[in-house]
């Protein structure tokens, strides 16, 4: 009983051990330093390699000064919006993954469990098959992006509605409803593919692989607004997520409005992941691998876990996109394929190491 009370006081006070706190500060500092290095690498690498002076000239020209040349066009019109969009999408996917794992109290959970990824993919597929991906005329966005965003939101709303009951919202029921709705969305998507043409099938496949090749400043603006809102909102739930690690009844005894926290987290995760899929397609494994790795490094305290995951996710997607553009240059690989190729072996090695030392 005493140990149980000690655990409650530790989470409510939010004061991890000194050695854990020092390690957390070191990891956060390393990530803060790594992010600009990854951004610089993304700007300099590609089919045309650029040096630091070219990057600086391109940035100056983008801000309205300097002469336009090949290097400044490459930086200002292609690589800068792509790198910034990749950093934002990676940060959103990783931080929403950390929030989802905290909500389900499972380090192997990710946002796809609530159906948002499957719903977004179905919405994109529906737009491709029915409208051919026609331009909507608003900020240059296609109906595919709009369909993906709306599909993700509607799917999550359905999952949350199915999980509601007179006694509240059950996380276990939400998980089962998410699995069922994901399967349903996959089946409907398969029916659409069955009736799609070869060109539509290729577009659907490329969309599901993910990519940042459509990055531009209007999309970056939307990503900045939506992603910034998500990245600012999720840390506000850190204390509640820490309390919910003990269980929902214990969190209620600590004064946490569990149902309101669930509803708020589900909304922000749906908005963040839906927007990310709409802007960059389906990018696998970032929301699963990054929070798990960061948690192994700094522990489960969400006050530091969520910001660290945002930084690590941005770095990972920047590195993955750099590899996607350089490994087979001038051709490009889908960045979602690269994140899976990087994440799966690393994740398996971490799991083997975890259980080898008895860390259940």
Q: What is the pLDDT of residue 67?
A: 63
| Angular region, 105: left φ>0, alpha ψ -120 to 50, beta rest | left
* Predicted local confidence at residue 68, as pLDDT: 67
Between strands 135-138 and 168-169, the pairing is unpaired
Q: Indicate the average pLDDT of the chain.
A: 82
Which of 32-36, 136-140, 259-263, 269-273 has the lowest average pLDDT? Answer: 136-140
Task: Summarize the confidence of residues 91-109 as an average pLDDT.
Answer: 89
pLDDT at res. 167:
66
Q: What is the pLDDT of residue 303?
A: 92
Mean pLDDT (whole number) for 241-267? 86
Residue 2: pLDDT over 60: no
Is the pLDDT at 261 greater than 80? The verdict is: yes
CB-facing half-sphere around the CA of 229: CA atoms within 13 A: 16
Q: How confident is the model at residue 29 (pLDDT cuts 50, 70, 90)?
A: very high
Q: 218 or 343: whose pLDDT is higher? A: 218
Give the pair of three-digit tokens for residue 277. Answer: 């899929």
Per-residue pLDDT tens over the stretch 114-125: 888 888 888 888
Q: How far apart are CA 75 and CA 211, in angstroms?
A: 18
Give residue 207's pLDDT band: very low, low, confident or very high (50, 70, 90): confident
HEC sequence for 26-53: HHHHHHHHHHHHHHHHHHHCCCCCCCHH
Under the banding of pLDDT at 50, 70 and 90, the label for residue 137 is very low
Rounded mean pLDDT of 160-169? 74
pLDDT range class, residue 31, cuts 50, 70, 90:
very high
Give how far Cα 208 sits from Cα of 121, 199, 204, Å: 7, 14, 6
Dihedral sign of CA atoms 190, 195, 198, 199 in order: negative
pLDDT band at 10; cut points 50, 70, 90: very low
Inter-helix orientation angle 52-62/80-104, to 10°: 90
Query: Which range has the top average pLDDT, 36-45, 143-152, 175-184, 249-258?
Result: 36-45
pLDDT at 282 over 80: yes
Residue 271, pLDDT score: 92
Instruction: Write out the two tokens for 262.
Output: 């669930």
Provide the pLDDT for residue 3: 36
Reported as a single tens digit per residue, the pLDDT across 36-91 is: 999 999 998 887 888 888 788 778 777 776 666 777 888 888 899 999 999 999 99
Give the pLDDT confidence score for residue 16 in this predicted structure.
Answer: 42
pLDDT at position 304: 93
Reported as a single tens digit per residue, the pLDDT across 222-235 is 999 999 999 999 99
């Amino acid at each position: 009983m005493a140990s149980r009370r000690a655990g409650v006081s530790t989470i409510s006070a939010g004061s991890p051990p000194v050695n854990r706190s020092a390690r957390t500060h070191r990891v956060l500092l390393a990530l803060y330093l790594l992010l600009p290095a990854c951004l610089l690498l993304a700007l300099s690498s590609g089919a045309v390699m650029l040096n630091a002076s070219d990057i600086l000239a391109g940035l100056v020209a983008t801000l309205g000064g300097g002469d336009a040349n090949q290097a400044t066009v490459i930086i200002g019109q292609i690589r800068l919006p792509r790198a910034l969009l990749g950093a934002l999408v990676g940060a959103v996917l990783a931080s929403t993954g950390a929030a989802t794992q905290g909500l389900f109290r499972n380090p192997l959970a990710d946002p796809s469990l609530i159906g948002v990824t499957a719903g977004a993919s179905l919405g994109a597929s529906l737009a491709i098959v029915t409208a051919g991906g026609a331009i909507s005329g608003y900020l240059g966005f296609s109906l595919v992006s709009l369909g993906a965003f709306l599909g993700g939101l509607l799917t999550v709303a359905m999952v949350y509605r199915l999980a509601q009951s007179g006694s509240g919202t059950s996380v276990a029921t939400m998980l089962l409803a998410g699995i069922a709705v994901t399967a349903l969305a996959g089946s409907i998507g398969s029916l659409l593919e069955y009736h799609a043409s070869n060109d539509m099938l290729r577009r659907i496949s490329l969309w599901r692989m993910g990519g940042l090749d459509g990055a531009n400043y209007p999309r970056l603006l939307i990503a900045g607004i939506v992603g910034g809102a998500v990245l600012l909102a999720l840390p506000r739930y850190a204390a509640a997520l820490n309390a919910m690690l003990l269980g929902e009844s214990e969190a209620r005894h600590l004064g946490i409005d569990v149902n309101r926290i669930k509803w708020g987290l589900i909304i922000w995760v749906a908005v963040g992941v839906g927007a990310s899929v709409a802007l960059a397609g389906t990018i696998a494994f970032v929301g699963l691998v990054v929070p798990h790795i960061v948690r192994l490094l700094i522990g489960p305290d969400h006050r530091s876990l969520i910001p660290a995951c945002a930084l690590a996710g941005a770095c990972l997607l920047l590195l993955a996109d750099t590899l996607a553009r350089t490994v087979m240059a001038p051709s490009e690989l889908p960045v979602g394929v690269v994140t899976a190729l990087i994440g799966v072996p690393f994740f398996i090695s971490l799991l083997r190491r975890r259980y080898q030392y008895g860390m259940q």
